[in-house]
Amino acid sequence: MELEIHGRVNPATRILLLIIILASPSLFLLGDCSPAIQGCNSVESRLVPGLSRARPRVFSIADFGGVSDGITLNTKAFQKAIDHIGSFGKLGGATLYIPRGKWLTGCFNLTSHMTLFLEQDATILASEDPQDWPVVDPLPSYGRGRELPGKRYTSLLHGLRITDVAITGNNGTIDGQGLIWWNRFRSKTLQHTRGSLVEFMFSSNILVHNVTLINSPFWTLHPVYTSDVMIKGVTILAPHKAPNTDGVDPDSSSNVCIRDTYISNGDDAVAVKSGWDEYGLAFNRPSHDVFLVNLTVSGSHGISLGSEMSGGIYNVHAYGVSISGAVQGIHIKTSAGRGAYIRNASFASFEILDTGVAFSFTGIYGDHPDAGYNASAFATIENISFRDVVGMRVNRAGDFRGVPQSPFRHTCFTDVALELNGKSNHWNCSYIEGYSRHVSPPPCPELQLESECWS
């Protein structure tokens, strides 16, 4: 038997993993049969051909008056270039080439059938002046800005109702210069919710590949109401104390693959979402078929489903993920008022190191947009499985805080081995039911039924 382990697994962890495999070898022949890998392959096959080949026309930002001194504001040059590219949509589109240098800009809109190509040592540098960040309506599935009532700042790069778009290059950088926004958040001087670094709304066929995204004011990469998204070979960085700098947040989106990506940031590395309380319930657009493959995550809140999940979340599959220095490894979070469901999620071939809690579920997360939510709207959380997970220097194995109105159902752990820092209180369980096999340390009684689990 030849074993393929995805992710960056250190030698000590490999030894521990091999011990588990020898105890039950038939359970680990996942490889390319993993639903996460199969899902990513399916997403890639669905992307339109223009994303995988050179566009017939290439224009440089310098052709439109752009200046790469890091001082001159290039917002008009970017928008002029993109407007020009928009005229080639029926001819296969065009590429906007960003040469090396620092290209300071305010927010600008992308267009369909375009490639934004960042050369090595090229940086799109966000303006630090809030006047260069337009204010726009809140997302309909949120009803208000995520941080404050009312509107929100738009993202630095924004795509609305566009298709066939690639952001790629030779590992160039998009820098949100988020420090001023983080300080305004901490000092409570924000007038509106901070903007994301890159956001796609009501869009399709999106590729983000081989670029570095750093210092986002708020969520870094936010596909919302969007389908067929491939995020591959991306690096996402922000200081570990930078507030709410989520890495990738698929939000009411479908057929999303995130693979071969490194994320070190100040909040969730990946957070699958679908709207907030009564607004998300009314909008009723779930996130589904989201796939994570070969991710390395450092110093964040790990992989999350929720907390805004009122449109529903289903079919989320992750394989080959290394998480270190996180508060939680895998976090499922909801609250009374959310309603909807999180179901059919699997996490396989995970490494969790130097982390507070390996597995964390909460049904009492709180945090509502306003007083209009229905306190009797409880979420259904069911069919969540964990397989082939190893952990070292973890403080607690599991922390499950359910509610009696809607306990966590059909939670499954198979072949899990965790080395814990403490000697007691390994699992905290309330209102959860499920199954386990080959789990160390042994889980709480609510999870000790033996049964075959779904993949």
SS3 label, residue 12:
helix
Identity of the amino acid at 25 = P
In this prediction, residue 50 carries a pLDDT of: 66
pLDDT at 51: 75
Shared-domain flag, residues 178 and 231: yes
pLDDT value, residue 32: 67
Question: How confident is the model at residue 48, as a pLDDT?
Answer: 78
Angle at alpha carbon of residue 182, lines to 102 and 167, rounded to 5°:
40
User: Are 220 and 236 within 8 A, CB to CB?
Assistant: yes
Q: How confident is the model at residue 28 (pLDDT cuts 50, 70, 90)?
A: very low
The answer on 236 and 148 residing in a single domain is: yes
207 is a domain residue: no
Q: What is the pLDDT of residue 454?
A: 53
From residue 233, how far is each of 19, 259, 449 by CA, in Å?
A: 31, 7, 40
Query: Are residue 278 and residue 340 in the same domain, yes or no?
Result: yes
Report yes or no on 163 lying in a domain: yes
Question: Quick check: is 48 in a domain?
Answer: no
455, pLDDT greater than 60:
no
Would you say residue 4 lies in a domain? yes
| Residue pLDDT, tens place only, 196-254 | 999 999 999 999 999 999 999 999 999 999 999 999 999 999 999 999 999 999 999 99
Check whether residue 394 and residue 431 sit in a common domain.
Answer: yes
Compute CA distances 76 → 67, 166, 253, whole Å. 11, 21, 31
**Percentage of residues in the chain having pLDDT higher than 70:** 91
pLDDT at 20: 41
69: in domain:
yes
Residue 52 forms part of a structural domain: no
**pLDDT at site 425:** 73
Q: Do 72 and 124 have their domain in common? A: yes
- Return the pLDDT at 422: 75
Residue 125 has pLDDT above 60, yes or no: yes
Cα angle for residues 66, 70, 75 (degrees, 5° grid): 45
| Together in a domain, 323 and 363 | yes
Q: Identify whether residues 143 and 4 lie together within a single domain.
A: no
What integer pLDDT is reported at residue 452 of this predicted model?
A: 62
Pair (99, 183) in one structural domain = yes
Q: Domain holding 396: CATH number?
A: 2.160.20.10
301 assigned to active site: yes
Which pLDDT tens digit goes with each residue over 339-363? 999 999 999 999 999 999 999 999 9
What pairing do the DSSP bridges indicate for beta strands 152-153 and 135-136?
antiparallel
What are the residues facing 291 on neighbouring strands? 257, 317
Q: Is residue 299 part of a domain?
A: yes
Is 144 found in the same domain as 287? no
> Does residue 95 share a domain with residue 28?
no
Q: For a pLDDT cut of 90, what percent of the chain falls above it?
A: 87
**Alpha carbons 300 and 288: distance in angstroms, whole number:** 23
The answer to whether residue 440 is domain-embedded is yes
Set 158, 222, 301, 331: catalytic member = 301
- pLDDT tens-digit profile of 406-427? 999 999 999 999 999 976 779 9
What is the residue-wise DSSP string for 58-97? EEEGGGGT---BSSS--HHHHHHHHHHHHTTGGGT-EEEE
Distance of CA 259 to the CA centre of its chain: 11
Which has the closest alpha carbon to 6: 389, 320, 384?
Answer: 320
Is the pTM of the predicted complex or chain greater than 0.85?
yes
Domain that holds residue 72: 57-200+215-240
Among the residue ranges 7-16, 398-407, 422-431, the one predicted with the least confidence is 7-16
Q: Same structural domain for residues 25 and 94?
A: no
pLDDT of residue 3: 30
Coil vs helix vs strand at 289: strand
- DSSP conformational letter for 332: E
Lowest-confidence region among 23-32, 53-62, 232-241: 23-32
pLDDT at 54: 83
Picking from 351, 291, 278, the residue whose alpha carbon sits closest to that of residue 35 is 291
Number of domains in the chain: 2
Least confident of 20-34, 99-113, 212-226, 303-317: 20-34
Helix-strand-coil percent breakdown of the chain, rounded to 5? 15, 40, 40
Residues 110 and 11 in one domain: no
Is the pLDDT higher at 87 or at 52?
87
Secondary element (H or E) of residue 19: helix 11-23
